[in-house]
Amino acid sequence: MKIRPVILCGGSGTRLWSDQKHHQPKQFIDFGNWTLFGKTLERIKNSIFDYPVISTNKKYVNEIKKHLRLKSFKKYKIILEPAKRNTAPAILSSVLIKEIPENQPLIFLTSDHLIEKTNLFNRSIKQHQKYLTDKNIFIFGIKPSNPSPEFGYFLSKRAINKKKVIKFIEKPNLEKAKKIIKKNAYWNSGMFFLTKKSIIYNFKKYQNKSFNHCLNSVNKSKFKNNIYYLNKNDFLKCKSISFDYAILEKSKDINAINLNISWSDLGSWKEICKVYDKLKAKYQKKKNIFFRPWGRYTNLYEGKNFLIKELYVKPKGVLSLQKHFHRSEHWVVTQGTPKITLNKKKFILKVNETIFIPVKSIHRIENPYKKPVKIIEAQLGSILKETDIVRYQDIYGRVK
């Protein structure tokens, strides 16, 4: 039997944007003729998958339909949540529809992950399908590329034909993350692989009240044009809780599929800057390169209210001491050791370190060393122009 992909697409991207009223959610941001939701749809075009089920809310329906058309999906089902109740009710309501048989294998994907080595990912899914039971759950672990406090972790041990999860660690601080990585901890990616029978079994066992409310919400739903409109009164009775807390941390039958692939949820501008650093060859065109006395900058990509640049600061190069009225900036160092001024503080940053420059903050980059400095810069704001610079000091005589 083919695997049914269920895509959770209700997030708003608050880690990127503090003001969601004027910004697209992360999964729909155009990063250069591609979006994270579009990449997710491309990932499930493999022959091992059946048509998708997508859980979302009414704000995103038109955007989802547009993406489905662009990716040539003619068959799909959309589950429309009447209110936000976290991932447990979203997951359960998605599989209780009549189109999904009880023995159906299901993979739950979030709509905002970027995964490289897709073939390896799909091959791992197919290899573990034979180990699915009516009770167990597979979670996907990603081998950490660095100790990050942004993600949850888990520890696993080898069992017969599979790995068994023995402990979850919820977003540790940096020092704890370093320690658990040495114990071979993996990032918890938030992707799950199990059968419909397993979902029903686990929810009846650990969240029985929510199971009944969710079932009523689906049974009383209205269906039109491939969309299930869940019953609001019953759905609101479901406990607002994540799938991790509701099921994963209670069940004793959690297995792991541990992967060593490039993965990101692009949950911060630091992660987005890293992606553009990898892809910069695609965007580095002569017309996008601008030379300055301190070096040069390259405009890699401009989206709605954001601009990604690469700054190249030559040895002994010094940018002006400046501020901006309309934009903030995130910097990620990719080469060298720049000296940073931020208001009254000074820092020396190393490769892979990041700093946030708020609106109206006085700041400067200096390169006092012999090696060039490279920084990926993400500008965020309503006005992203070079005219939005107020200079206080400049060794090249550009203070007006």
Q: Could you tell me the domains of the chain?
A: 4-264 (3.90.550.10), 269-393 (2.60.120.10)
At 356 the pLDDT is 93
The amino acid present at 339, given as its one-letter code, is K
| Alpha-carbon span 98 to 106, nearest angstrom | 14
DSSP H or E run through 43: helix 36-43
At 71 the pLDDT is 95
At 21 the pLDDT is 47
| Alpha-carbon span 201 to 389, nearest angstrom | 60
DSSP H or E run through 70: helix 61-70
The amino acid present at 316, given as its one-letter code, is K
At 74 the pLDDT is 94
At 255 the pLDDT is 96
Rounded to 5°, angle at Cα 244 from 238 and 246: 35
Residues linked to residue 229 through DSSP beta bridges, in sequence order: 80, 222
Structure tokens at 136: 């167990």
Pick from 247, 213, 207: nearest CA to 230: 213
Three-state SS sequence of the chain:
CCEEEEEECCCCCCCCCCCHHHCCCHHHCCCCCCCHHHHHHHHCCCCCECCCEEEEEHHHHHHHHHHHHHCCCCCCEEEEECCCCCHHHHHHHHHCCCCCCCCCEEEEEECCCEECCHHHHHHHHHHHHHHCCCCCEEEEEECCCCCCCCCCEEEEEEECCEEEEEEEECCCCHHHHHHHHHCCCEEEEEEEEEEHHHHHHHHHHHCHHHHHHHHHHHHCCEEECCEEECCHHHHCCCCCCCHHHHHHCCCCCEEEEEECCCEECCCCHHHHHHHHHHHHHHHCCHHHEEEECCEEEEEEEEECCEEEEEEEECCCCECCEEECCCEEEEEEEEECCCEEEECCEEEECCCCCEEEECCCCCEEEECCCCCCEEEEEEEEECCCCCCCCEEEECCCCCCC
| Alpha-carbon span 116 to 121, nearest angstrom | 8
Are 322 and 398 contacting, i.e. CB atoms less than 8 angstroms apart?
no
What's the predicted TM-score (pTM) here? 0.80
Are 147 and 170 contacting, i.e. CB atoms less than 8 angstroms apart?
no
| Alpha-carbon span 122 to 391, nearest angstrom | 52
Give the pLDDT of the chain (400 residues) as one tens digit per residue.
999 999 999 876 555 555 444 457 888 887 777 889 999 999 999 999 999 999 999 999 999 999 999 999 999 999 999 999 999 999 999 999 999 999 999 999 999 888 878 889 999 999 999 999 999 999 999 999 888 888 999 999 988 778 999 999 999 999 999 999 999 999 999 999 999 999 999 999 999 999 999 999 999 999 999 999 999 999 999 999 999 999 999 999 999 999 998 888 777 777 777 777 776 666 556 568 899 999 999 988 888 788 999 999 999 999 999 999 999 999 999 999 999 999 999 999 999 899 999 999 999 999 999 999 999 999 998 899 989 999 999 999 988 7
